[in-house]
Structure 1
Amino acid sequence: MEFSRVRGGALGVLVGLTVAMTGMAPAAFATSGQGGCVTVPSPYQKQVEKQLRLRADGSQSPADCKAIQKFQRREGLSPANGYASPATLHLLTVASARKNPNAAGKCPVRSWRVACVDLSRQLMWVQRGRKVIYGAVPIRSGRKGLETRGGWHSITRKKRDEISTLYHNTPMPHSQYFAGGQALHGSLTNLFTGPGSAGCVNLRPADAARLWNVLQVGDTVYVYGHKPS
């Protein structure tokens, strides 16, 4: 996902740097207006406006903020402050894909269950034939140097209450391994921040719990695309 150009000189630069590092608006500059709305624009402003079919001018109007805030509340995103955050853009991409996530036909259609992991859009779903039986939901894939392995895989084992002995006993709830030590699993950290995982496909805990009941050992996983920088 690329940054849109932000007007506003030094303020825009500072906001952009803060968002790039943390995914959130800096508190000192995120002045709240009526209804708890953030009044400063985001580096992602135009992309979010386009997804919501608003006037894509890169400026944060009261109407823009209310529309963004409404979407954030519907998706359970916190804080729901109307700021066009990276998380908001990510969830907009997921929401737009839910009706037909395989519209581009990039995940092969088979008669059996296929878990489709789209690294480019940072989302996944499960399909049987052309019917979507799970998702689409947001993911966080492997960061640079620890990329999630692409191509065809299969679920080799499942462990409900897994922890990572390699990474400080980090909880990995509802782990479903598909490529050696790489697994589909829940993450207790904010899915929308940081450069990426250590190779696993991270999901929100509730999404991972639902996926646990959809996939079985032996089911197919297809990973494609490239994680945005």
Structure 2
Amino acid sequence: MAGRHRRSPDLRTVSRTALAPLGIATMAVAAAAPMAAAAPAQPAPAAGGLGAPPCEETADVCVDLSRKKAWLTDDGRATSDPMPITSGSPEDPTPTGTFAVQRKERYHVSKEFDDASMPYSVFFDEEGRAFHSGSRASNSHGCVRLDKDDAKQLFAALEPGDEVQIVR
């Protein structure tokens, strides 16, 4: 499922009537201007110089547990710089696989873990695991912790139903 936050309109679907307000003078100038040769499409450089995110093109957010990074993505390309993360411990790991954003809570407090604050929570599985802001100094209980600004960015970009991919 594609996320709503990064899609741009397909310019091929713009109708000719959308060009009508340009006027005759503008059309004459455009016709007189030399046509530039189209440059071959080049792949966009990967954000942060870490190569392409290792997830499928359908992912709206990609998490690489081995590199301890996450990216917002669109059609397999990073649309954000790599975000440093902390994930679960070997005893309580962050699951790998494909998930869908379940819900978002700006001010979530964990009932399972001593009323721990989980700001900017974006829940992605039925077990209550989420992306959220928090300390990256230690492992989580399976959540993906991010710095506050990165958690805010993910929270703003993702919507319920968006695809989450987590790889190792």
**With structure 1 as the length reference, what TM-score do the two structures score?**
0.50
- What is the DSSP-based 3-state SS (H/G/I as helix, E as strand, rest coil) of the residue aligned with 2:145? strand
Equivalent in 143, 146, 151 of residue 89 of structure 2 = 143
Pair member with larger Rg: 2
- In the alignment, structure 1 residue 121 sits paired with structure 2 residue 67: yes
- In the alignment, structure 1 residue 185 sits paired with structure 2 residue 132: yes
Q: Say whether the 8 Å CA contact 1:186–1:204 is kept in structure 2.
A: yes
- In the alignment, structure 1 residue 223 sits paired with structure 2 residue 166: yes
Unaligned runs of 5+ in 1: 1-96
Counterpart in 1 of 2:55? 107
Residue 114 of structure 1 deviates from its aligned partner by: 1.9
Residue 106 of structure 1 deviates from its aligned partner by: 2.6
Q: Which stretch of structure 1 is more off in the superposition, 116-125 or 128-137?
A: 128-137
Residue 176 of structure 1 deviates from its aligned partner by: 0.5
Give matches, 1:55-94, under 5 Å: none
Counterpart in 1 of 2:157? 214
**Residue identity opposite 2:130 in structure 1:** A
Q: Detail structure 1 runs of 4+ shifted over 4 Å in the superposition.
A: none
Equivalent in 160, 168, 173 of residue 106 of structure 2 = 160
Equivalent in 79, 90, 93 of residue 133 of structure 1 = 79
Higher helix proportion, which one?
Answer: 1
**Residue identity opposite 1:109 in structure 2:** E
Change in CA separation of 1:106 and 1:132 when aligned onto 2, cut-off 3 Å:
closer
Question: In structure 2, how many angstroms separate the alpha carbons of the residues matched to 1:101 and 1:129?
Answer: 17
Counterpart in 2 of 1:200? 143
**Residue identity opposite 1:178 in structure 2:** F
Q: Deviations over 1:17-74 (max 9, x none)?
A: xxxxxxxxxxxxxxxxxxxxxxxxxxxxxxxxxxxxxxxxxxxxxxxxxxxxxxxxxx
Q: Say whether the 8 Å CA contact 1:176–1:185 is kept in structure 2.
A: yes
Tell me how large the CA RMSD over aligned residues is.
1.7
Q: Say whether the 8 Å CA contact 2:57–2:77 is kept in structure 1.
A: no
Question: In structure 1, how many angstroms separate the alpha carbons of the residues matched to 2:81 and 2:154?
Answer: 9
Higher RCO (C-alpha under 8 Å, 6+ residues apart): 2
The percent identity for this pair of structures is 32
Unaligned runs of 5+ in 2: 1-45
Question: In structure 2, how many angstroms separate the alpha carbons of the residues matched to 1:216 and 1:200?
Answer: 18
- What is the DSSP-based 3-state SS (H/G/I as helix, E as strand, rest coil) of the residue aligned with 1:139? strand
Question: In structure 1, how many angstroms separate the alpha carbons of the residues matched to 2:50 and 2:105?
Answer: 27
**Residue identity opposite 2:73 in structure 1:** Q
Question: In structure 2, how many angstroms separate the alpha carbons of the residues matched to 1:102 and 1:108?
Answer: 14
Alignment size in residue pairs: 122
